[in-house]
Copies of this chain bind each other. A is one copy, B any other.
């Protein structure tokens, strides 16, 4: 075991290696230690010090104090190096060297472990410090703080004891006009501290600097296993055997004099990404003062902060210039925006820490693009810098976090956005008020198919129950509506048209204005300030690079014209799936659909069909007009029949009257159509085969719609729920002959047409080699495929999936992240088997999981041709596809 010095003579070797990211040194010495070593190599001025590697921590837990004796000679060597560099001696009563003892793991565990400052201070060195600094108060205050941190961390004293002592001391001192600024009081207080700590500890407070250091090192090691740290590691899946490195470093003091200061700086603005030094500093102060508040920090450059505040660039121009130079040096070395901590001691700038800067989505995109333009990183690297989920935040308005707002609930951020509107409790009311121009928020315990018109009419949706993949969440994401689900402290009473906020004892009536924050999941009373979506220019540059880089085509999932427009606007290369259920559920058509399903004879069936055709044809021709030249995949109807039916008595009576059918016959028919397990029932192509009229009218509407606008793209007809070769073979023949007939009727050439199967049931995957022979393409539907592969319905899963995720029975919700082991392996098998018999088989994939970058990476690796996702997710998918291509080339 050896120590690793920095800021010392023998440590300043030139820096050759690329040490951005996690290197071996990071693992051994922690992020902080490795950063200091790197800065030292770069000749950045850092207070001299050394790092005890993390392996010593592991040894400490294995062998206890004995392990410290083993490394002690090395510690002494390190100390000697610091003493030489600083020209001070550790424990010297005249000019004492003080050091900090800091934890630092290879993974970020912010604030979880302990740090001890000012080690080396004792009653005699305190006097030396006072004499040398000429500031008795400073020295005594440092001494007080030292005891207050050392006693709990190193000696295990209850910090409350010290707080109580201090308060009673202050109470006693108040009549005397003394406070914590008075040296007299500090002298007495520190003396009292020492007495009480000795009594509680059962031994005198250690005054020998080396004993202090040794105990401080052990204390920092032990903090690796404090309760907070263990919990954090469990939550973040961090290996508990890593251990923490310990950095021992000379103290520098930003509170030494007027030419001293402390501050934090970003090499580029973390909010906008603008390329200039951004940050705050405090003259004549220590680091913790900046954090503590009470004192207002000053800006580093003139453009930041309120007017009238003197920026560092003016107050300390030399130090500022040096800081600017160091910032450039470090950013250039690490090739990313740095978050810096620095101290100016008597005019000299010391760098205490450098790390990758956290930044806003906007800044992330801008810095990535600009750094690539500057040649600092490659375009591939720029693409890898931006996570698709963060990209999407740029496209959504969001609640201004600094605005005053009253949060009355917090649910799951099911669909992003920020909207305000009046509360309504049912679909009809939502449609009515929206029709009158109001912005409404639909509030339900949970939603179902019946709520679709209301969800479409609303600007936002709030539910008390349901998760990220509940009906409400899926539909809202599909529609791009802002949505908060599972807001469990709300009780929604749809009958009385009120909801109550249980923990606040608050009741909200219909018509009240609320705001939903789809990014945080917050529900806010009243109208909160929001910022609109305005993607910066760099966004468009990045997307252009992504498009050039990716192989996977990205299409939009669109059931309406508005969605198709949004998809195009977001760069979709076609429609990956247009689900036709909506067309059948339109209120003015639903009636005819019911007639069709319930008709007992050919005449009524034909009549219903004739009435259904024109509306659908209009919808399709409008869609095709928008999508000229692009591929459009249309899935034939895939709803269980009973979903179209009603059990509302009045509606039943009107249907019966229209069809001239006795009411009890109708009720019986409706009942027999109801499935026990609708998902596993009479739906998809099963319906298309047994009720051929439904697909017949759909195909006619599609083809006539395309002919009406001379559509030049490819139409892909998708047959849902295929499990047997004969299903698709039969329907293909039927559709092809139907199309020929329609084209003959119009003496028109057939539009470009492909017919394929939706692969959404395991059996389809297993027989993919045979299916491929009768399919022009496969479209994997991973929502249903996940349901059947897991034997788990998305809605019913809410009863156990939260438990599963919490207890890590499953690592992720398979409806959100594609389950690679199960569903993914089945998709891979299907692609492999399908292309075995038809090597050029085109494969698409759609499902809720396409919001997840890992799922898209999987699709890229598998050689899927296109993915389809809701319009507002298209940009994220384009970026994810490009990143997958980059990663694929790296692998």
Contacts and interface: CB of A to CB of B under 8 A. Distances in A.
Contacts of A784: 791
Nearest to A679: B677
A796 B761 contact: no
Contacts of A687: 800
A792 B823 contact: no
A791 B819 contact: no
A401 interface: no
Contacts of A673: 799
Number of copies of chain A assembled together: 2
A244 to B, nearest CB: 30
Given A677-B678, A679-B791, A680-B796, A724 B809 contact: yes
A232 interface: no
A724 B800 CA distance: 13
Say which size band chain A's interface belongs to: 35 or more
Interface string A787-799: 1111111011101
A257 to B, nearest CB: 61
B819 A790 contact: no
A412 interface: no
Given A677-B795, A680-B787, A681-B793, 17 more contacts: A676-B796, A677-B793, A678-B796, A679-B791, A680-B680, A680-B792, A681-B797, A687-B800, A689-B800, A721-B791, A723-B792, A726-B808, A761-B790, A762-B788, A763-B819, A763-B823, A766-B789
A795 B676 contact: yes
A677 B796 contact: yes
A761 B787 CA distance: 10
Contacts of A723: 790-792, 822
B793 A726 contact: no
Interface in A463-502: none
A678 B681 contact: no
A137 interface: no
- List the 8 shortest-distance A-B pairs measured between CB atoms, nearest first: A680-B793, A681-B796, A761-B791, A763-B822, A682-B799, A677-B793, A762-B762, A675-B796
18 contacts: A676-B678, A676-B795, A677-B679, A677-B680, A679-B791, A681-B797, A681-B799, A682-B799, A689-B809, A690-B799, A690-B803, A723-B822, A726-B807, A726-B809, A730-B809, A761-B791, A763-B790, A767-B825
Contact of A826 (B680, B727, B766): B766
A723, A770, A808 — most chain B CB neighbours (10 Å): A723
A800 B726 CA distance: 14
A494 to B, nearest CB: 14
A371 to B, nearest CB: 42
Nearest to A678: B677
Interface of A: 673, 675-682, 686-687, 689-690, 721, 723-724, 726-727, 730, 760-763, 766-767, 770, 784, 787-793, 795-797, 799-800, 803-804, 807-810, 819, 821-823, 825-826
B809 A727 contact: yes
Contacts of A792: 680-681, 723
B724 A810 contact: yes
A479 B209 CA distance: 85
A135 B462 CA distance: 103
A782 to B, nearest CB: 13
A810 B676 contact: no
A679 B680 contact: yes
Given A679-B680, A784-B791, A800 B762 contact: no
A690 B791 contact: no
A438 to B, nearest CB: 32
Nearest to A794: B680
A189 to B, nearest CB: 51
Contacts of A826: 762, 766
A791 B810 contact: no
A754 to B, nearest CB: 22
Contact of A810 (B680, B726, B804, B810): B726
Contact of A791 (B788, B797, B809): B788
A124 B825 CA distance: 83
A728 to B, nearest CB: 10
A808 B686 CA distance: 13
Nearest to A795: B676
A791 B767 CA distance: 14
B793 A676 contact: yes
Nearest to A826: B766
Contacts of A810: 724, 726
A810 B685 CA distance: 13
Nearest to A821: B767
Contacts of A797: 681
Nearest to A803: B690
A153 B766 CA distance: 51
Contacts of A678: 676-677, 796
B796 A766 contact: no
A91 B678 CA distance: 75
Given A727-B809, A822-B767, A789 B788 contact: yes
A809 B819 CA distance: 31
Contacts of A791: 679-680, 721, 723, 760-763, 784, 788
A680, A689, A788, A823 — most chain B CB neighbours (10 Å): A680
A727 B790 CA distance: 13
Nearest to A686: B800
A773 to B, nearest CB: 14
A822 B762 contact: yes
A675 B676 CA distance: 10
Contacts of A767: 821-822, 825
Nearest to A726: B809
Contact of A803 (B677, B689, B795, B804): B689
Contacts of A796: 675-678, 680-682
A788 B723 CA distance: 11
A629 to B, nearest CB: 35
Contacts of A760: 791
A789 B761 contact: yes
Contacts of A726: 807-810
A96 B808 CA distance: 95
Nearest to A801: B686
Nearest to A769: B821
Contacts of A721: 791
A467 to B, nearest CB: 14
A680 B822 CA distance: 16
A687, A689, A724, A787 — most chain B CB neighbours (10 Å): A724
A711 to B, nearest CB: 32
Contacts of A727: 809
Contacts of A795: 676-677
A732 to B, nearest CB: 13
A762 B787 contact: no
